[in-house]
Amino acid sequence: MKAEADAAAATAEIDAQNAAAEAATAQADAEKAKAEAAAAAEKAKTNLGIATEAANTPAPPANQ
């Protein structure tokens, strides 16, 4: 009986450690995704600025 309880406790401890490791991995993945989203937003902001500048630049006169 005690051996079964000890085995169950050891299994529960291992399960808890695995869950903690999975939570840490999920947090790291979320932080990576957040950083990638911020980089993508900054790139989009830059591209919008370039496109806006291009749209506001007068076209050169056509050669006739």
User: pLDDT tens, 28-41?
Assistant: 999 999 999 999 99
pLDDT of residue 6: 94
> Residue 61: inside a domain, yes or no?
no
The predicted-structure confidence for 21-30, as pLDDT tens digits, reads as follows 999 999 999 9
- The whole-number pLDDT of residue 64 equals 62
Residue 26: give the domain boundaries.
Answer: 1-53
Say how many domains are in the chain. 1
Q: For 9-13, 32-36, 56-60, which range has the lowest pLDDT when averaged over its residues?
A: 56-60
* Size of the chain, expressed as the number of residues it contains: 64
Q: Is residue 64 part of a domain?
A: no
Tokens representing 9?
């406790």
CA distance 15 to 8: 10
Joined together, the tokens standing for residue 11 give 């299994």
Is it the case that residue 59 has pLDDT exceeding 90? no
Is there a domain that residue 59 lies in? no
